[in-house]
């Protein structure tokens, strides 16, 4: 099972949408996921501040940046399809 990280911050409504998608994938048994709060790190703010929500696969450099929908995210998880 893949582990994904969601780079997020408080009050981000797009991040809340991404959380719903990740929860659905987790309920399907495809992934587990963990939130990463970017406001705790200047480095993460610089890297992801204007791009969140961003999902990253643990142990790889694969990232999915907003915008994406559930079908795109599902394909990315299952087949590694690129989300632009």
- CATH at 52: 3.40.30.10
Residue 44 within a domain: yes
**Of 60, 59, 63, 58, nearest in space to 76 by CA:** 63
Residue 84 within a domain: no
Residue 48 within a domain: yes
Tell me the chain's radius of gyration from C-alpha atoms: 12
Residue 42 within a domain: yes
What's the structural domain count of the chain?
Answer: 1
Residue 19 within a domain: yes
Residue 8 within a domain: yes
Which contacts of 59-68 are long-range, i.e. CB under 8 A and separated by 24 or more positions?
59/3, 66/14, 66/18, 68/18
Write the pLDDT tens digit of every residue in 24-70: 999 999 999 999 999 999 999 999 999 999 999 999 999 999 999 99
State the pTM of this model: 0.91
**CA 15 remoteness from chain centre:** 8
Domain that holds residue 35: 2-79
Which residues is 37 bridged to in the sheet? 8
């Amino acid at each position: 099972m893949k582990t994904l990280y969601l780079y997020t911050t408080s009050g981000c409504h797009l991040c809340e949408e991404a959380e719903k998608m990740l929860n659905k994938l987790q309920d399907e048994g495809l992934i587990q996921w963990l939130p990463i709060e970017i406001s705790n790190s200047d480095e993460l703010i610089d890297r992801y501040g204007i791009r969140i929500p961003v999902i990253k696969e643990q142990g790889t450099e694969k990232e999915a940046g907003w915008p994406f929908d559930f079908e795109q995210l599902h394909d990315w998880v299952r087949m590694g399809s690129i989300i632009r």
